[in-house]
Amino acid sequence: MSRDLVGKRAVLTGASGGIGRAVATALVKAGARVALASRNADKLNELASALRGTGGEVLAVPTDVTNPDDRQRLVETAVSAFGGLDLLVNNAGVGSWGHFADSTEAICRTVMEVNFFAPIELTRLALSHLTLGNQPAVVNVTSMCGRKGMPAWPEYSASKFALVGISEAWRAEFARFGVDTLTIVPGMTNSGFEKNWLRNDGKADLRFDKGMTPEYLAAKIIDAIQQNRTETVCGSEARRLLRFNRYFPRLTNWLLARKVKKLYSK
């Protein structure tokens, strides 16, 4: 199936910066009508104004995705303004860069609330509207950490694994409603994501500046939606790691463990 985005009614979370901002721009360029959600009202309104200047039909809906009332208001506002819903893009996320042994329960719960519970509960609210939509789909932006858990990313990996897992369950469940479930699995992206981590004391040389641009990833996401690809791995680093892990899982684990031991040997 090929999905035409012209006129599609979409909700996009995490829209005010980085990957979300690029996806919002790409959706509007493709002809979609978009309800933009983010906690940062100023950035959200600035983006909405800029997109309207290009002829886009957008709404700015300041939203804390972990707040049930905000989630309800987001869905109701979008449905009321657009007359329905065709596309939900769960993009909002938070990271924590540090090892489990000296992390906290609070960090774990925050990561899980933002990266897992928020998107699934938003999907629960949106589903009844999506079932009435035109070529409807739920799009979950996950991570290569959702296919291979990585050291110093324990909570983040767990949250993204959970989102990948529920996406696979939804894929079969939602088929009876005619709603597709698409999973995006990006590698390292130069999106500014690291500026908002809950902690930043892991040991490794993370070269985000060498990662994909948000615009490149957004183009891949739009293409995946249009082509209705079940799962899309984005970025050469992610493709290499996941392919290597698929065929050599024990060696992959040994290499990762050796790297961590070396980093902490001093």
Give per-residue pLDDT as tens, 51-80.
999 999 999 999 999 999 999 999 999 999
Q: Using pLDDT thresholds of 50, 70 and 90, give the confidence band for residue 266.
A: low
Q: Report pLDDT for 153.
A: 94
Strand partners, 60: 36
Q: Does 187 fall in a domain?
A: yes
Q: Does 171 fall in a domain?
A: yes
Q: 37 near 10, Cβ under 8 Å?
A: no
Q: Does 211 fall in a domain?
A: yes
Q: 236 near 41, Cβ under 8 Å?
A: no
Q: Report pLDDT for 197.
A: 85
Structure tokens, 133: 């939509």
What one-letter code names the amino acid at 143? S
Give per-residue pLDDT as tens, 155-214.
999 999 999 999 999 999 999 999 999 999 999 898 877 778 889 888 777 777 777 999
Give per-residue pLDDT as tens, 75-113.
999 999 999 999 999 999 999 999 999 999 999 999 999
Q: Alpha-carbon distance 82 to 78, whole Å? A: 6
When mean pLDDT is compared across 10-24, 134-148, 192-206, 210-224, the lowest value belongs to 192-206
Which of 68, 11, 20, 69 lies closest to 40 in space, CA to CA? Answer: 20
Count of other CB atoms within 10 angstroms of residue 173: 13
Which alpha helices (DSSP H) does 55-104 contain, by range? 68-82
Q: Using pLDDT thresholds of 50, 70 and 90, give the confidence band for residue 263.
A: confident
151, exposed or middle or buried, with CB in 10 Å at 0-12, 13-18, 19+? middle
247 in catalytic set = no
Q: Report pLDDT for 264.
A: 82
Reduced to 3 states (helix: H, G, I; strand: E, B; else coil), residue 137 is strand
Residue for token pair 């972990």: 66
Among positive and negative, which fits the CA dihedral 148, 122, 95, 51? positive
Q: Does 2 fall in a domain?
A: no
**CATH code assigned at 220:** 3.40.50.720
Kindly report the average pLDDT of the chain as a whole number.
Answer: 95
Q: Report pLDDT for 201.
A: 84
Q: How many alpha carbons fall within 13 Å on the CB side of residue 254?
A: 5
Tell which wins on pLDDT, 217 or 196.
Answer: 217
Q: Pairing relation of β-strands 33-38 and 9-12?
A: parallel
Total count of domains within the chain: 1
Q: What is the DSSP letter of 15?
A: -
Which alpha helices (DSSP H) does the chain contain, by range? 18-29, 41-53, 68-82, 105-112, 118-130, 154-173, 214-227, 236-247, 249-263
Q: Does 77 fall in a domain?
A: yes
Q: Does 4 fall in a domain?
A: no
Q: Does 102 fall in a domain?
A: yes
Q: Does 3 fall in a domain?
A: no
Mean pLDDT of 32-57: 96
Which of 152, 60, 215, 52 lies closest to 223 in space, CA to CA? Answer: 215
Among positive and negative, which fits the CA dihedral 30, 78, 59, 184? negative
- In the chain, where do the E strands start and end? 9-12, 33-38, 58-62, 87-90, 137-141, 180-186, 231-234
Catalytic one of 156, 216, 247, 264: 156
Say what the pTM is.
Answer: 0.95
Count of other CB atoms within 10 angstroms of residue 100: 14
Residue 13 belongs to domain spanning: 9-263
